[in-house]
């Protein structure tokens, strides 16, 4: 998948399944890659986890983000790059 954009990082399997359901519902092609991501525990301690990163074609990224947001799937939403 060339020209792809990461739109979501799911930290749990249940979260990843919800993202998949929404992307399938709107018939979007996507790719998933398990990759490390950094976060902070209690806002202080840097920690690294592995998550499911969802990629879509760049031209579909905005509608995918809007769909996930409208479905209440917001925790791992990756904002649009400026």
Q: What is the pLDDT along the chain (82 residues), one digit of tens a residue?
A: 569 999 999 999 999 999 999 999 999 999 999 998 877 777 788 888 899 999 999 999 999 999 999 999 999 999 987 5
pLDDT given for residue 2 in this prediction: 65
56 close to 22: Cβ distance less than 8 angstroms: no
Spans of all domains in the chain:
4-70
- What is the Rg, in whole angstroms, of the alpha carbon atoms belonging to the chain? 13
67 close to 56: Cβ distance less than 8 angstroms: no
CATH class of 4-70: alpha beta
pLDDT given for residue 1 in this prediction: 57
């Amino acid at each position: 998948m060339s020209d792809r954009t990461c739109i979501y990082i799911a930290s749990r399997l249940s979260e990843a399944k919800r993202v998949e359901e929404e992307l399938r519902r709107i018939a979007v092609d996507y790719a998933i890659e398990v990759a490390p991501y950094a976060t902070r525990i209690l806002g202080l301690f840097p920690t690294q986890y592995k998550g499911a990163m969802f990629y879509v074609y760049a031209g579909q990224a905005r509608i995918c983000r809007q769909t996930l947001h409208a479905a209440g799937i917001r925790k791992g939403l990756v904002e649009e790059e400026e």
